[in-house]
Structure 1
Amino acid sequence: MKHSLKWGALGLCAYVVFLLIKLPAVQVLGNLSLPPNIKLQGVKGTIWNGQAMNATVQGLPVSNIQWTLEFWPLLMGKISANISAGNIRQADAIAFLGDVSFSSDRIQLTDVQAYLPTNLMISLVPLPFPVNAQGRFKVQVTELDYGQSCQALKGNGQWLNAKVAGVEGMIDLGNFTADMVCENNNIQLSVKEPNSFGLTANATIPANFKFSVSGRFKPATNLPAEVHQAAQFFGNQDAQGYYTIKF
């Protein structure tokens, strides 16, 4: 009798393990309270190795999300996974690769690399006039710890092959680089010279993602006249020839 119970218990355990391994992602995620700014569509595969055809993250469209979920963090109420999304070769789409952990009120990123289309990101910035821009933003995050606010951040960003539309075509601006840190519990991006715009600026990104930017710039003399004319929308130059940015 004991022998039969032993084998029955082992069989039951094996069955439970099998169910856990094959647990469909669509069933689990359908009953999971994801952060309100994350929506998934076309979910398939298992919860451990799954895929979502499309997603919306903070209002931004992301395609072909794939993940590998770790088991042990689940015992502590935390989801931890290696996630990839998009196609790094597709310049007009978001691409992402890195390790992500989150609970109900906290998200952590480790060794993340992301590419973001310029036109999509520019649309989120409250510029004083419409700008048609090209290129890609490249973001590398070594560490991010974000709860209700920014707790820790180490990373950098680049605007690669930056271009803006002019009367006679696209105007090449080169590359821009920014450092990323936490400051006063907000994400802070700092751009410094040298660059073709003579731009030095700090961008603050609070929890509601309503950007604020302050700084100054002085377009290089070799840029087209229309660039210098457009710069006048920002007001008068100071004694050093710089325009002030604040919005």
Structure 2
Amino acid sequence: MSEAVSQPSSNNKVSTKSLIYIGVVFLFLYCFFLIINLPAAWVVEQAKQRNMLPPNVNISAPTGTIWQGEAQYMRIANINLNKVKWELSATQLLLGNIDANIKVDNSRQAQSLSMSGNIHLPIAALSPAQTNHAPDSGNPAEASKNIITLDDFKLRAPANQIAHYLTLPIDANLQGRFLIDIAQAELDITASNALRCELMQGDIVWQNANANVYGQFINLNAMDASLSCAERNVTMAFNPNNKLGLDAVVKLVDNNQITINGVMKPDASLPKSVHDAMQYLGKPNQQGQYTVEW
């Protein structure tokens, strides 16, 4: 009789365990689907309220989810971006990194900035407070680095917008458009006043190249250069087949300043003022080229 009574108790025990297991599974699935469908608008609003966004970042009208969404407008520092689309890696985010495929779709508008490609960076790199202001010793072991990695990255931007962030050797208003294609790059942004180049493979084209130099309009057609690293500086090696005859290496150094080392021989079709200005570069070599150093 006692055995007959104990049997239902065993069944009830098994049934309770099954219910707990099923409940845990459903709770896990509910949390999982809640996270993967987390609205981008809600996340951005919460970040704004808690001052979690860097002060130089503004995001407007986000739609979609945090993992795959779009913002009608985004401002980073002084750069305005429209129709920004992204896809985020959840695994990398849990590891404290941002791994995203982005697209800013204004490629058909010559005066707008557009970009696309894969970006990987630590979340700490977005915060100015995390920037290491110590001098760059060149020893990776002395301090952690904030490395931005770019893969299959394309940037299209008006020439005057890019020039605004550079210290040029002459007072010139650049016109046209820069087309930058980067197959792969690793950039160290740990130092606040410098961009250290760890790896760079790509090229840059100055399309419809025009320059207004001291009131003189100069049509250069197009210029192109290959991108690489030299002494941890981003380096451009110009293709000499251009109207300036510029065969030079340009380096981006501290505080967005540039150095130039090479030669140039302006095409005969360029204005007389360009040829007259060559006298300030000294005497030409046997090939008629003038040394350019700055």
TM-score by length of 1: 0.85
- Give, in whole Å, the separation in 1 of the partners of 2:247 and 2:19: 76
Could you report, residue by residue, the CA deviation over 1:76-135 in whole angstroms, capped at 9, with x for unpaired residues?
332111101141111111110111111131111111111121111223333344323321
Query: 1:175-190, aligned counterparts within 5 Å?
Result: 175-190=222-237
Query: Distance in 2 between the 1:7 and 1:195 partners?
Result: 71
Residue 76 of structure 2 aligns to a residue in which SS? strand
Distance 1:178 1:21, change over 3 A: same
Is 2:173 aligned against 1:132? yes
In 2, the alpha carbon distance for the partners of 1:5 and 1:171 equals: 78
Residue of structure 2 equivalent to 1:219? 266
User: 2:158 & 2:98 partners in 1: Cα distance?
Assistant: 28
Per-residue deviation, residues 138-162 of structure 1 (Å, max 9, x unmatched): 1110101123422111111111121
- Equivalent position to 2:91, from 54, 68, 72: 72
User: C-alpha distance in 1, partners of 2:54/2:249?
Assistant: 28
The question of 1:19 aligning with 2:66 is answered no
Q: 1:182 to 1:143 in 2, by over 3 A?
A: same
Amino acid in structure 2 at the alignment position of 1:143: Q
Give deviations 1:198-245, integer Å, cap 9, x for gaps.
Answer: 00122212464333333332210111223324555x533433443443
CA–CA separation in structure 2 for the residues paired with 1:223 and 1:150: 35
Q: Which structure has the bigger radius of gyration? A: 2
**Which residue of structure 1 lines up, in the alignment, with residue 76 of structure 2?**
56
> Partners in 1 of 2:119 and 2:209 — Cα distance?
29
State the Cα distance separating 1:65 from its structure 2 match: 1.6
Matches of 2:160 and 2:106 in 1, distance apart? Answer: 17
SS at match of 1:154: strand
* CA pair 62-231 structure 1, distance change in 2 beyond 3 A: farther
User: Partner residue of 2:101?
Assistant: 82
Greater mean deviation of Cα atoms: 90-99 or 222-231? 222-231
State the Cα deviation string for residues 176-219 of structure 1 (Å, max 9, x = none).
11111111111111113111100012221246433333333221
Residue 238 in structure 1 maps to residue 279 in structure 2: no
Change beyond 3 A, Cα 1:35–1:129: same
**2:130 paired residue number:** none
- Structure 1 partner of 2:131: none
* In 1, Cα distance between equivalents of 2:219 and 2:170: 19
> Do structure 1's residue 109 and structure 2's residue 188 form an aligned pair?
no
| 1:41 is aligned to 2:59 | yes
The match for 1:193 among 215, 221, 240 is 240
8 Å contact from structure 1 (residues 116, 136) kept in 2: yes
Distance 1:207 1:107, change over 3 A: farther
For residue 127 of structure 1, give the secondary structure of its aligned residue in structure 2: coil
- Counterpart of 2:162? 121
CA distance 1:128–1:166, change in 2 (3 Å): closer
2: CA distance between counterparts of 1:163 and 1:122? 13
Q: Residues 86 and 103 of structure 2 are in contact (CA less than 8 Å); yes or no, is this contact kept in structure 1?
A: yes
What's the RMSD between the two structures over aligned residues?
2.7
8 Å Cα contact 1:86/1:93 also seen in 2: no
- Sort the Cα spacing of 1:33 and 1:142 in 2 relative to 1 into closer, same or farther, 3 A: farther
The answer as to whether partners of 2:171 and 2:213 remain within 8 angstroms in 1 is no
Cα distance change on mapping 1:34 and 1:107 into 2, 3 Å: farther
Say if 1:95 and 1:114, in contact at 8 Å, map to a contact too.
yes
Q: Where does structure 2 lack aligned partners over 5 or more consecutive residues? A: 1-15, 125-145, 191-195
Give the length in aligned residue pairs.
244
Aligned residue for 1:79, secondary structure, equals strand
Q: Which moved more, 1:26-35 or 1:129-138?
A: 26-35
Larger % of strand: which? Answer: 1
Whole-angstrom distance in 2 between the partners of 1:50 and 1:19:
16
